[in-house]
Structure 1
Amino acid sequence: MLDARISALVALALSSSLASAQIKSEGAAAAVAYGLPTAEVPTVFVQPPDVGAYLAEDEVRGPFPLRYGALMDVDVAWANDGVWDQLENGDWAWRFKVLSPGAKSIGLEFDEFWLPEGGQINLYDDTLETVFGSYTSVNNQPHEQIQFEPFPGESVIFEYVHPAGAREMAKLHLGTVIYDYRGLFELENQLDDGSGGGTGAGSCLVNVNCPEGDPYELQKRATVRTLSGGSLCSGALINNTAFDGEQLVLTAWHCGQGSNTVFRFNYQTSGCSGGSAPTGQNVSGATNLASYQSSDGRLLRINSNIPSNYNPYFAGWNRTTQNPTFAMSMHHPSGGVKKISIDNNGATKVSVGFQGIGTVQAWNCNWNVGDTLGGSSGGPLFDQNGQLRGGLTGGPGGNCPMIDYYGRFYTFWSNTNIDTWLDPLGLGVTSIDGFDPNNPGGGPGGTTPQIDSISPATIAAVNPTSPVTITLTGDGFDGVTSVEVDGVPLSAFPPEFSVPNNSTLVVTLQPPYNVGTKTIKVIEGALSDEVVVPVTFNLTPTIDLVNSDPSFLISAFPLEVYMGSFPNDLAFLLVSTSLVPSTLPGIFSASIGNNLTNLFLVNNFVINPATGYAKVDIPISGLPTGTKLYFQAGVLSSVLPSLPLNMSNVESGTVLF
C-alpha cells in the first residue's frame, strides 16, 4: 500500500481548495522545505493610509506618473523584529509578517540590503500557496538597497535564510512599505485585451503584436516598464557610440525613478487581441545619471546585469532639430502590457506648459493609431529610422484620436552632460543606430531567414514527451538573433532554440499547448520569417507529467499533470507506486495499481474545449527521496459514453528531494 504520506497527498488533491493551489515562482522557502509554521510569525502592523485622500489628490496631479501605492515609513531590522528559527541543516531563518488591512498588494523597500553568498530570501502568504523568490546575493546592488516586486494581498511574510557558514551577517533594514490602494494587478490586466471599444480614453489602445507593430521588432525589445516609489512609467534602452551594451535607459524627468526602480522587459501579449504576457522578466536597481526638467528627460543606468534571455535591444538615437517625418511610440498604459501609437505625419515642435513641470520643449504627435494613458509616461518616441527622439510627457486626454507631447531629446542633450554616457568615444555624431547584443555587427544579419518546412507538422494539446521540439528546415538560419513564439521571445539560457546549421533550427516549446495554432517567428536583425504550427485535440487519451522520468520531481513544488482527449470527455486520474496492472471487469483495465491494492483516484476532470486539456497541480511535500509515482487516466467519452474506460499512457516520476 502507499504509505501514509502518499495517502495524505491524494486526500489533499481531492480538496477543492488545494486543486487551485500553485507556487508562482521558483525557490524553496524554508517554510516549505522544513515545515515552519506561518501562524507563529510576528506581525508588523502598518496603519492604512487615507485612500480617499490619495485618490482625490491623484485627480489633480497633472501629468505625473501613474501612482498606485502610498509610501508608508516603517523601521524593521533583524536585530529587533521578527523571529529566528534554526533549521535542521544548521542554517537560520529570520521571518516577519507585514499586515496593512485593505491593501491590494504590498511592496517592500529596503534602505539597507546586502546578502552574503548562500543567503536566500522568499516572500509568501500564510497558506504558502503563493511564494516569490528566491532572491540571493545576485540581487545585491551597489547602493545596497532594493525594492521587491509587489506581493498580492494585504499581508506578506518575509523570510531570510542565513547560511550557517557565512562569515558576514546580511544587511537588512525595511524602511518603506508600499500600500497598493489602486490594485496594481488589476491595472495590469484591465487593458490586456487591446481595444476597449467606444471613443473614450483607452479605447484606441493597440497591442504591439498587432500588425501595426510587426515592422518594429527591435523597438519592442528596447521598450520597458518601470516601477518606482509606488508609481508606474515607461522607458527605453538606449545605445551609445561605443556600441558596448551599457545598460542605459531614457525616460521622463517627471517619472522620478529612484535607485530602487524595477524594470520589466518584454511585457507584451503574445497576440493582437490578447494572450499570455510574461511577468517574470524583471531587473531591480538603477543609478540616476542626468535629468533636465525643461525637456522632461531622465537618463538612468541599470545596475544589475540584464539576463541574456531577456533579449534586450539598445535603441539608436537622433539629436538633430529636424522634425521626424514619421513618429511611433511604445509604452505601458496603466502599467499594463505594451502598446503602440503611430503618427503617420510625423511630429512637430511645440512648447507646452504642464502643471508641476513647467514649460516643456516638446514634439507634438497626433495619433492615427493608438493612444496613451497614465503609465505611458516616459515611453519612447521613435522616428522614421527607428531612432529615439524623446520620451512621453503627456497630453490633454479625451477621446480618440489623441494628441501627445514628447520632451525633445536634442534639448535634453544640449542642456546636460548626457554625452558623457551616450557619446563616450567623443565622436560628436548627431545620430547612431541601435545595438543588438545578438547581432553585434549590426545590419540585417546578411540573409533573410526562410522556413521551408517543419517537423512535426502539427502537435497535440498534450504531449507525454514534453517539452516538444520542432525542427525548422530552410535557409539563412546562421545569423538568427532571436526566436519568438506567439510574440514572446524564447529563452537563450536555458536554451529554448538552437541553430545546428544554416538550414536547420530547432525550437523547444514548453507546455501548455492550447488547441488552435502557435506562430513561430525567426528573427535575424530587421529580417524575419514565420510559420504557423497547428495544435490539435489528442485523438486518444494522453497524459503528461511535467518533469517525468528521466527528469526528477522536486517535493517543494507541486506536480503538474496534463490530461488530453476530445472536448468535454471525462478523465479519471489514477496514481500508484506499483507498475503491476489492475483490472475492474467491465469498468477499466489499468497498467498500474497492483491488482487494485495500490491504486488511488486523484479526481475526475473535464477536458476543456478551449484548451484541449485538463490540468491539475498536486502537492507532494514530504514524500521521501526515491519515491516513484505512476499516473494513468481512464477516459469516458462525452459523445458516446460507454464502459470500459479508454486508458491513457502511463507517466512516471521520481522524487529527487
Structure 2
Amino acid sequence: MRTSLPTPLLLSLALASAVLTPAKASQRLALTAVPQTLLTPAEVRAEIGRVQGDPLRYAVAEPLNLDQRSGAWDQTETGLARWRLRIASDGARSLSLHLRELNLPQGAQLWLYDASGSGDRQGPYDRDSAAIYQGELWLPVVRASEAVLEVQLPMDATPELHLAVAEAFHGFRSLTSADGVEPKASIGSDSGSCNIDVVCSAGNDWRSEIRSTVLLSTAGVSLCSGSLVSNTAQDDRPLILTANHCGIRSSNVRTVTAYFNLQSGTCGGNQNGRTDQNLAGASFLARDENSDFTLFTLASKPPSTYNAYYAGWDARSGVAPQCGVAIHHPSGDEKKISVYNSAATPADNNRICQNDSCSSFFTVDAWRVVWTQGTTEAGSSGAALWNQDHRVVGVLSGGGASCSARSEPDYFARLERGWTANSSGSGQLKAHLDPNSSGCLTLSGKNPGSASPVTACSDPPPSDGSSCAPDSGDGGGGSPGPALLAGLALLAISRRACRAAAAA
C-alpha cells in the first residue's frame, strides 16, 4: 500500500442550508489534492493467484490501516465540510471497502463513487442507515480502478467524525465501468453466450419472479444467487433463500450485500446493470448442509423503488415440477433465465464435489433438470428452481450444464427436504416460512403489502403441466470468442463451486 498525503485543510465556516449531494463532475479537478492510497500490485497479484481457482470468488481483500486523518478536508459550494480519500488499485475491475469504528455525526452523509465521476455511486449513508451495524459498514462495489470515499457534514460536527478503512476489495473478474462503453459483466465475469437475459421473451411469463432474484456478495469477495421469499405471515419480512454451500453464516451475514434489479435493459445487449439498488444482510436464521439451503434476513425491507417481489414456494414431498425456470446471476453477470420443458426427476444422495478431486463433498436430495434454453454457471449457486405454478421448489447445488455441455443436468436441492430437515428452527425452513403454523406446504408469491396472513389452508393440487411449451429461444448474454468458450469448458470441472455426480 502506498499513500500520498497532501496537507489536510479544515475550514471553519458557517453551515449553509442545502441538500447534501456528492461533489459534482465540475469539481473533480480538486481530486488531485486528495490523498490517494494505492493497493500494492505485487500483494494483489499474489492473492489473486491464490484464490482465482475458486469459481465463486470475484475479488481479493487487502488490509488497510486508514482513518479520518488519512483524508483531506475542504468545503463544498454549499458551505458544508467535506472529507475525501481516494482508493486505487491497478487493473481493478471493481473496488469496495470495509469500514469499522464508523461514527457519522448528525447531518453527515457518506458515499463511495467512481473517481471519474461518470460511473457507480453508492450511498448516501447516514447515522441511521440500516447497513451500518455496530460501527461497521460493508460498502457495495464501484466498477472502477479508483474510487472516492466522501463524507459531507455540518462544519461544527467535524470533530465527531470517525471512521477506519479496514479493507479494500480488488475485483479481478472481468468487468468495466458502468457507462456501458465497453460491454462487460456487472460484478463478476461475462457469462456464456447461451445464457438468456431476463428481458428477453423467455422471461415474459416470469416478470414477477424475476423481481425476486438477487445477486449476493459475501465479505466483499464471493458471489452467489438468491431469492426474496414470502412467508405465511405475509408481512414482507425480507427473507433471502440461497444455498448452504455459498457459505453465509451467522458470523458473516452482516457482510452480505444483496443487489436487486442487476439486469440488462436489452435482450442480448449484455449492458452493465445498475448496482445502486442494494441492501445489507442482517440476521442469520437457518441452514442445513444435506438439504443445501440457507435462509437469512436483510437489514430492511426493499424500498418501493426496487419494485421487489416476494416469491412463493412449494415444499410438498414427491411433487415433481413439470416445467419452469431458474433465474440467476451466472458468473456474477446480469440476471439470466434458464428454461426447462421436461419434468424434473428426483435424484437422491447426489454427491456434490467441492474441489476438483472431490475429496471434499456433501450429498443432497435434488431435482435433476436438463435445460431447454440457457444454462447455469459459477455464481448461479443458490438460485431458485421454479415450477409450472410459479413457486420455488429448490435451490441450485451443482451440476455439469454449460454452454458447451447443454445436455448435462443440473441439480437443485429439494425444498421439501429442507422444510423440516432438523428439529430446531435453525436447521429448517418451516419455522420461518410458516411462522403461523398454518400447515401450508404451498404459498403463492406476492407484491409488497398485498396479502393477508395465512392461518389455515388446503394446498391445491399441482397443475398437470399443460402450460409447459417450448419458448422461442432468443438473446444471450454476450458473444465470447473461442478462447473464452474453451475456458468455460474447463471451468465446468469446478463450476458453481461444486459439481454434481452420482453417488459412488
TM (norm. structure 1) is 0.56
Change (3 A) 1:391 1:186: farther
Offset, 1:224 = 1.4
Larger deviation, residues 327-336 vs 269-278: 269-278
Instruction: Indicate whether 1:319 and 2:340 are aligned.
Output: no
- Structure number having the greater strand percentage: 1
User: How do 1:62-141 and structure 2 match up within 5 A?
Assistant: 65=56, 67-78=57-68, 80-85=69-74, 91-124=80-113, 128-130=117-119, 132-137=121-126, 139-141=129-131
User: How do 1:273-288 and structure 2 match up within 5 A?
Assistant: 273-274=268-269, 278-287=273-282, 288=284
Task: Name the SS of the counterpart of 1:184 in structure 2.
Answer: coil
- Asked whether the equivalents of residues 111 and 151 of structure 2 are also in contact (C-alpha less than 8 Å), the reply is yes
Residue 258 (structure 2) aligns with: 263
Percent of aligned positions with the same letter in both sequences?
30
Instruction: Indicate whether 1:429 and 2:418 are aligned.
Output: no
Matches of 1:414 and 1:58 in 2, distance apart? 36
- Asked whether the equivalents of residues 327 and 385 of structure 2 are also in contact (C-alpha less than 8 Å), the reply is yes
The amino acid of 1:396's aligned partner reads G
Report Cα offsets for 1:496-532 as digits up to 9, x if no partner: xxxxxxxxxxxxxxxxxxxxxxxxxxxxxxxxxxxxx
Report Cα offsets for 1:65-121 as digits up to 9, x if no partner: 2x111011112222x422333557664322222232332221112234453442122
Residue 398 (structure 2) aligns with: 394
Offset, 1:327 = 3.8
Offset, 1:372 = 0.8
Q: In structure 1, list runs of 5 or more residues that go unmatched.
A: 1-25, 443-657
Offset, 1:56 = 6.5
Matches of 1:235 and 1:185 in 2, distance apart? 24
1:352 maps to which of 350, 353, 360 = 350
Residue 154 (structure 1) aligns with: 145
Matches of 1:399 and 1:341 in 2, distance apart? 14
Residue 412 (structure 2) aligns with: 406
Change (3 A) 1:173 1:413: farther
Matches of 1:234 and 1:36 in 2, distance apart? 39
Offset, 1:400 = 1.5
Task: Name the SS of the counterpart of 2:33 in structure 1.
Answer: coil
Change (3 A) 1:116 1:39: same
2:296 maps to which of 295, 300, 309 = 300
Matches of 1:278 and 1:27 in 2, distance apart? 26
Report Cα offsets for 1:614-637 as digits up to 9, x if no partner: xxxxxxxxxxxxxxxxxxxxxxxx
Change (3 A) 1:349 1:336: same
Residue 39 (structure 1) aligns with: 32
Matches of 1:284 and 1:58 in 2, distance apart? 27
- Asked whether the equivalents of residues 103 and 179 of structure 1 are also in contact (C-alpha less than 8 Å), the reply is yes
Task: Name the SS of the counterpart of 1:424 in structure 2.
Answer: coil
For the pair shown, the structure with the greater C-alpha radius of gyration is 1
Q: In structure 2, list runs of 5 or more residues that go unmatched.
A: 1-18, 355-359, 422-426, 454-504
Offset, 1:38 = 1.5
Larger relative contact order (CA 8 Å, sep ≥ 6): 2
Task: Name the SS of the counterpart of 1:410 in structure 2.
Answer: helix
Change (3 A) 1:89 1:311: closer
- Asked whether the equivalents of residues 236 and 310 of structure 2 are also in contact (C-alpha less than 8 Å), the reply is yes
Larger deviation, residues 103-112 vs 296-305: 103-112
Change (3 A) 1:185 1:234: farther
Change (3 A) 1:439 1:96: same
- Asked whether the equivalents of residues 308 and 448 of structure 2 are also in contact (C-alpha less than 8 Å), the reply is yes
Offset, 1:255 = 1.9
C-alpha RMSD of the superposition: 3.2
Offset, 1:40 = 2.1
Change (3 A) 1:346 1:142: farther
Offset, 1:36 = 7.9
Task: Name the SS of the counterpart of 1:152 in structure 2.
Answer: coil
TM (norm. structure 2) is 0.72
- Asked whether the equivalents of residues 39 and 126 of structure 1 are also in contact (C-alpha less than 8 Å), the reply is no
- Asked whether the equivalents of residues 202 and 372 of structure 1 are also in contact (C-alpha less than 8 Å), the reply is no
Residue 241 (structure 1) aligns with: 232
Matches of 2:64 and 2:47 in 1, distance apart? 21
Task: Name the SS of the counterpart of 1:215 in structure 2.
Answer: helix
Offset, 1:390 = 1.8
The amino acid of 1:362's aligned partner reads A
Matches of 1:270 and 1:313 in 2, distance apart? 19
Change (3 A) 1:58 1:34: closer
User: How do 1:422-571 and structure 2 match up within 5 A?
Assistant: 422-437=433-448, 439-440=450-451
- Structure number having the greater helix percentage: 2
Task: Name the SS of the counterpart of 2:198 in structure 1.
Answer: coil
1:330 maps to which of 322, 327, 330 = 327
Matches of 2:323 and 2:295 in 1, distance apart? 24
Matches of 1:274 and 1:130 in 2, distance apart? 19
Residue 447 (structure 1) aligns with: none
The amino acid of 1:217's aligned partner reads R
- Asked whether the equivalents of residues 103 and 153 of structure 1 are also in contact (C-alpha less than 8 Å), the reply is yes
Task: Name the SS of the counterpart of 2:70 in structure 1.
Answer: coil
Matches of 2:133 and 2:331 in 1, distance apart? 29
Residue 215 (structure 1) aligns with: 205
- Asked whether the equivalents of residues 312 and 442 of structure 2 are also in contact (C-alpha less than 8 Å), the reply is yes
The amino acid of 1:367's aligned partner reads W
Residue 448 (structure 1) aligns with: none
